Amino acid sequence: MGFERGFLDYERIEPAKAPVSERIKNFKEYYATLSDADAKIQAGRCMDCGTPFCMHKCPLHNIIPDFNDFACQGEFSKALNVLQSTSPFPELTGRLCPALCEEGCTLGIHRDPVGIKSIERKIAEYAFEHGLMHAEPSVHRTFKKVAIVGSGPAALACAQALGRRGHQVTVFEKNDRIGGLLRYGIPDFKLPKEILDRRLALMEAEGIIFRPGVLVGKKGDRDTGVFCNASEVISPEELKAKFDAVVLCPGSEVPRDLKIKGRELKGVYFALEFLIGQNLEMQGEGENPVDVRGKKVVVIGGGETASDCIGTAIRKGASEVTQLDYHDELPATVDIMEAWPDWKRIKRTSPSQEEGCTRLFSTNTTSFEGKDGALSAITTQKVKWGEGHHFEGIKGTEGRMDADVALIAMGYAHPSAHLAEEFGLKTTARGSLEAAYEGPEAFCTSDPKVFAAGDGRRGQSLVVWALAEGRLCAEAVDRFLCTVPHR
């Protein structure tokens, strides 16, 4: 335990954040890394609880009290060793994680929780800055070959773990760059792509082979998902013949649609059409085809994707941004004794929402209206939620707002159905790849040689869950490979 009275003597330190007026001028990352001194104080607030609920709440089960203890003493190298023993890419979770650990922090019951996420980022950035983050190639080789389909966080975590166990790993990605949603979904202001590239370089140095631009499937599947710019196709049969095991990490790419009147109008897009367009633009690959400059933008949905659309639309010069969420507005606070150590169901404001958008709750989108084939307005109705996940429209609460662009950010249903069909795999009722999370069959699909992890298995989720699944899946694949004879 760092400072004996740290939790009493010091307040939570938030990482510095660029002011709204500055940050909306560009796509630069707006959070800064803590200074050494602030990180030490922040880590010194940790109470080193006997039962650390923070660890329990973290899907990676990071050993938080121990890395806090080292960070508090300024021993960032030792803190890194602890952190890396469970977390494959702390520089990603230190930026993107909603920090489930902080919700479970015991200090959070009566004061502000320890800023665990900012300490994690500090340890990772300190390590990169001081040359402590190395490639760790395996000293032995098993000569077993594993193909991983997809290159999002689940695939990357799985590839790193299998590569470090001495297996030869090849990652196949249908898009021309590696990273999955880290590359093409999440905007630069949350994750600058240099952070991802820095990690990919280390993985290449560890011997991971990346094959971008290769769709695993059949010719003609190319229009599955919102985006695919594959130049090559490899069939499931070929992959299974050439590799000892195959891991599918295809994400949950099929977006939920809003099939209401006027859906076909120009100006109505899926959120990812806009976000991918922007990420491509940032990479110098042509202007975002979804132009919002000077336009009234309506974002439909309440999650992280919706927030990213808001921040991107504001940076691209939208004249007005409105967010429609059919969920009820949550209260500002809840009784901590009822909520802790779980995620508090309170109203949260993301940095993007803070940048200037009107948020309407309990509001359902009922139709898109157009003029000359282009969106001109959106009609709405207030809703009342009943038992289960059902709502009803309230008569007399119909509304209408002018809109030039509508972005549908209502989540993702499941991975492309083609992949499961072509591999001949069972899927769940929701269309995800069927594989258990625990037990002797963990992560194994209905084909014993094929494994599945990440959003494609569990449904749309979080980066930290994708990383946890990728690591656990690697353990399952490693156990399976022990039973496979050498070729």
Ligand X SMILES: Cc1cc2nc3c(=O)[nH]c(=O)nc-3n(C[C@H](O)[C@H](O)[C@H](O)COP(=O)(O)OP(=O)(O)OC[C@H]3O[C@@H](n4cnc5c(N)ncnc54)[C@H](O)[C@@H]3O)c2cc1C
We find the least distance from the C-beta atom of residue 5 to ligand X, in angstroms, to be: 34
Comparing CA positions, the residue from 174, 198, 40 lying closest to residue 119 is: 40
We find the least distance from the C-beta atom of residue 455 to ligand X, in angstroms, to be: 4
Part of the chain binding ligand X (CB under 6 A), chosen from 17-25, 41-49, 182-190, 326-334: 182-190
- Which tokens is 45 given? 């607030």
Nearer to ligand X, 52 or 150 (CB): 150
In one-letter notation, the amino acid at residue 323 is Q
Nearer to ligand X, 126 or 274 (CB): 274
315 three-state secondary structure: helix
We find the least distance from the C-beta atom of residue 227 to ligand X, in angstroms, to be: 7
482's CB contacts (< 8 A; 6+ apart) are none
Annotate each residue in 80-109 with x if it binds ligand X (CB under 6 A) or - if it does not, as one string: ----------------xx------------
Q: Rounded to an integer, what distance in angstroms lies between the CA atom of residue 20 and that of residue 28?
A: 12
DSSP string, 2-66: --TTHHHH----PPPB--HHHHTTS-S--BPPPPHHHHHHHHTT----SS-HHHHHSTT---HHH
175 scored as a contact of ligand X (CB under 6 A): yes
Burial class (CB in 10 A: 0-12, 13-18, 19+), 446: middle
Annotate each residue in 258-277 with x if it binds ligand X (CB under 6 A) or - if it does not, as one string: -----------------x--
Nearer to ligand X, 23 or 190 (CB): 190
Q: Are 30 and 351 in contact (CB under 8 A)?
A: yes
Part of the chain binding ligand X (CB under 6 A), chosen from 249-257, 278-286, 344-352, 397-405: 249-257
We find the least distance from the C-beta atom of residue 474 to ligand X, in angstroms, to be: 13
Comparing CA positions, the residue from 128, 134, 176 lying closest to residue 151 is: 176
Binding-site member from 103, 173, 188, 325 for ligand X (CB under 6 A): 173
We find the least distance from the C-beta atom of residue 155 to ligand X, in angstroms, to be: 5
Q: Rounded to an integer, what distance in angstroms lies between the CA atom of residue 284 and that of residue 280?
A: 6
Interhelix angle 271-282/304-315, rounded to 10 degrees, is 50
190 scored as a contact of ligand X (CB under 6 A): yes
Nearer to ligand X, 46 or 196 (CB): 196
Phi/psi of residue 379, each to 5°?
Answer: -105, 150
- Interactions with ligand X, residue window 16-45 (CB under 6 A): none
**What does the buried/exposed string (b/e) look like for 206-217 if buried means 16 or more CB atoms within 10 Å of the residue's CB?**
bbbbbbbebbbb
Part of the chain binding ligand X (CB under 6 A), chosen from 105-113, 211-219, 346-354, 428-436: 211-219
Part of the chain binding ligand X (CB under 6 A), chosen from 178-186, 199-207, 236-244, 380-388: 178-186
Annotate each residue in 290-319 with x if it binds ligand X (CB under 6 A) or - if it does not, as one string: --------------xx--x-----------
Nearer to ligand X, 76 or 184 (CB): 184
What is the edge-to-edge ordering of all strands in the sheet holding 245-248?
Answer: 209-212, 168-173, 145-149, 245-248, 450-452
What's the residue count for the chain? Answer: 487
Comparing CA positions, the residue from 454, 482, 472, 481 lying closest to residue 152 is: 454
Part of the chain binding ligand X (CB under 6 A), chosen from 109-117, 128-136, 179-187, 398-406: 179-187
- Interactions with ligand X, residue window 415-434 (CB under 6 A): 416, 419
Binding-site member from 113, 212, 341, 454 for ligand X (CB under 6 A): 454
- Computed on alpha carbons and rounded to an integer, the radius of gyration of the chain in Å comes to 23
463 scored as a contact of ligand X (CB under 6 A): yes
Nearer to ligand X, 96 or 472 (CB): 96
DSSP string, 425-440: --B-TTSPBP-BSSST
We find the least distance from the C-beta atom of residue 186 to ligand X, in angstroms, to be: 5
Annotate each residue in 122-161 with x if it binds ligand X (CB under 6 A) or - if it does not, as one string: ---------------------------xxxxxxx------
352 scored as a contact of ligand X (CB under 6 A): no
DSSP string, 238-252: HHHHH-SEEEE----
Binding-site member from 172, 189, 423, 451 for ligand X (CB under 6 A): 172
Phi/psi of residue 324, each to 5°?
Answer: -105, 125
Nearer to ligand X, 186 or 280 (CB): 186
We find the least distance from the C-beta atom of residue 150 to ligand X, in angstroms, to be: 3
β 391-393/374-385 pair status: antiparallel
We find the least distance from the C-beta atom of residue 476 to ligand X, in angstroms, to be: 16
Nearer to ligand X, 383 or 463 (CB): 463
Where does this chain bind ligand X (CB under 6 A)?
Answer: 96-97, 149-155, 172-175, 180-181, 185-186, 190, 215-217, 249-251, 253, 275, 304-305, 308, 416, 419, 454-456, 461-464, 466
